[in-house]
Amino acid sequence: MRIGLIIYGSIDTLSGGFLYDRQLVRALQRRGHTVQVISFPWRGYAQHLAHNIRPDIWHRLRQANVDLWLQDELNHPSLVLLNRGLRRDHPAPIISIVHHLRQDEVHPPAVRRIYRWVENAYLRGVHGFIFNSRTTRERVHTVLGRAAEGIVAYPAADHLTGSRAVPFLTPDEVRARALEDGPLRAVFLGNLIPRKGLHTLIRALAHLPRGSVTLDIVGREDVDRAYSTRVRRLVQQHGLTTAVRFWGYLDQGDLHRLIRRMHLLAVPSQYEGFGIVYLEGMAFGLPAIAGNRGAAHEIVTPGENGELVPPEEPEVLGRHLIALHRDRERLSRMGIAALERFRRHPTWEESMGRAVQWLETWAPRPS
């Protein structure tokens, strides 16, 4: 098949969603399909809506020689009206890759109503879906008021381990690390944006005894510079400059060396459509503290391989941190359970292979 993939910006962008899109493209290419990436420029939401009335964009899509459209659902504001024209004038079916719904993020009520109206109109205008989790599928079904054509194809984390579901550490190594003297070593992995909940994590540390927990923060600060400035200021205001370290972006080698030393991954997101980062941490035997909204519960089992916390409640998060600091045997058991959770998760090849097989059912029939 000839497939057109519509995204914003570069497919090499560092995020879980773009990693998923890259893995899907590679799986399609391995099966002999051609994929043309059609990139729309990153703009604000209102400017994205204006893409629907730009003649140059419509002409480009209408003339595209493709058998199937793949659209990252992130692009929904740019496509909500364009898709009506595609359905009318272009024979290719439209499949949306849904990572999570924008309306499920935390926004002011009036803004969220606009997002909901536009996004729901987009979802009603496509033929089928690739969902990254059962939770995302259920949310789309709720929006549509019916079951939709689609498949759940989970993200994976074996890109870290050479396409094998083999963790980096052994259970004995995880146990030895957990029982080391000293503070609990937590790591936050992700771009510094409000949805990831780093501000809540920093406020949680502020309530804990000094020297009990350290935090290493790895992620780009240029995605939302105002927010990055805000969290750095929070660290200073709470007197945490010796307990918190900002690393920015790290290449894979440096990142792996850092994570191997950590005890725990803490990313208390306000919402995750899946949460690849939790699986990535589990490849190193790190229990995960995750937000309880969204699909993190499909990876993190409270009390077994991590904990789920409500958004914006630093006291709850802090209680989990100090409990694991004080009970290293429990930390050890949870770390070993995290290794096992990573080991039994589908690989990218398995998951994307299922997605590709499903997409092939949409191939045009020979005339």
Q: What CATH superfamily is the domain 2-156+347-360? A: Glycogen Phosphorylase B; (3.40.50.2000)
pLDDT at 230: 97
Exposure on the CB side of residue 72, measured as CA atoms within 13 A: 23
**So where are the chain's domains?**
2-156+347-360, 159-344
Rounded to whole angstroms, the Cα distance separating 291 from 267 reads 7
Q: What is the pLDDT, as a whole number, of residue 165?
A: 64
Please indicate whether the domains covering 2-156+347-360 and 159-344 agree at the CATH topology level: yes
The answer to whether residues 272 and 250 touch, using CB atoms and an 8 Å cutoff, is no
What pLDDT is stored for residue 161 in this prediction? 75
**pLDDT block averages, 10 residues each, the chain of length 367:** 97 91 98 97 95 94 95 98 94 96 93 97 98 97 96 92 75 97 97 96 96 97 96 97 96 94 98 95 97 97 98 96 98 98 94 97 82
Is the domain defined by 159-344 classed in CATH 3.40.50.1580? no
pLDDT of residue 19: 94
pLDDT the model gives residue 159: 85
**Residue pair 180/329 in contact by the 8 Å Cβ criterion:** no
